Amino acid sequence: MTETSPVIVLVQRPGPSTGLPTYTAQGDLRFAIHASQGEFPRVVIAPGNVEESFCMTIEAFNLAEKFQIPALIISDKYLAESHGTAEPFDQSRIGIDRGKLITETEYTGEGEYKRHKFTEDGISPRAIPGTKGAIVRTNADEHNELGYTTEDPVLTTKMTDKRFKKLDALNKELENYETVKFYGPAKADATIIGWGSTKGPIREAMKILGKEGITVNYLQIVYLHPFPADKVQRILQSAKKTIVVENNKTSMLSSLIRERLLTTVDHKILKYDGRPFNPEALSQSIKEVL
């Protein structure tokens, strides 16, 4: 409601309640996507390894600030607390984009500064409190452009629409992002679908299977919300068999694919004992369902 730009890191472990401290799980996906009072746009990003955790945290900050929405990074115990080596990060690709932020010490815009000004893309320029000539007022209650509380039905509708306009702008921006990643040959015996920290074990399992003459490819869904429906659909259309691999009981990713694409996956390999997948055991499970 205040159009603040938090970046929230959700590191999952098994639940419910205190659950199994402190082992790993992927059971909070629906929580990350849905937990809210009311409706507002957000972005949920799931890095799959050390490098992605670094790069996608920067993406999360940029998106949060540019669209003035919460950005959630969904990780888990296995990814967040594992030790590993990585190639040096390519920092030339890193840019900081703070969006429509007024950095001048004095506000020189047209008319009175309005924190929640109606704009074409729904994004209002942000002034920093202390900027001369700008009174920055925001409000957790529904408000008008100036941030004053309102109970007006017309304005309430208009403000909700303003906040959701940012979703269109965000979707457009995400077209240029690597919202999904694809590994392996275009044609394969099966397509593995996963998100987050299962990336490492899945890629190892692919190698093991490859040695045995079984070719699988792998679709990593990086941006889980907004869901990259077109990109996922394009890949699933040409898949011979689909297998979802997840560290949870109810296969939240399968349900998300069903919800967004009206498609059911062929097989699910689920593990919810607090431990990450083991490449050998995973390759065995894949062979069993093929």
Q: Which residues bind another protein (CB under 8 A)?
A: 2, 128-141, 147-149
Closer residue to another protein in complex, CB, 84/130: 130
- Tell me how far apart the alpha carbons of residues 82 and 121 are, in angstroms, rounded to a whole number: 41
Closer residue to another protein in complex, CB, 85/108: 108
DSSP 176: T
The sign one gets for the Cα dihedral 176, 182, 186, 191 is negative
Closer residue to another protein in complex, CB, 87/106: 106
Closer residue to another protein in complex, CB, 11/146: 146
Q: Minimal distance in Å, beta carbon 139 to another protein? A: 4
Question: Do the strands 7-12 and 43-45 form a parallel or antiparallel pair, or are they unpaired?
Answer: unpaired
Judging by beta carbons within 10 Å of its beta carbon (0-12, 13-18, 19+), is residue 118 exposed, middle or buried? middle
Q: Minimal distance in Å, beta carbon 35 to another protein? A: 15
Q: Minimal distance in Å, beta carbon 134 to another protein? A: 7
What is the maximal distance between C-alpha atoms in the chain? 70
Nearest to 48 by CA among 60, 37, 38, 56: 56
Q: Minimal distance in Å, beta carbon 60 to another protein? A: 19
Closer residue to another protein in complex, CB, 141/273: 141
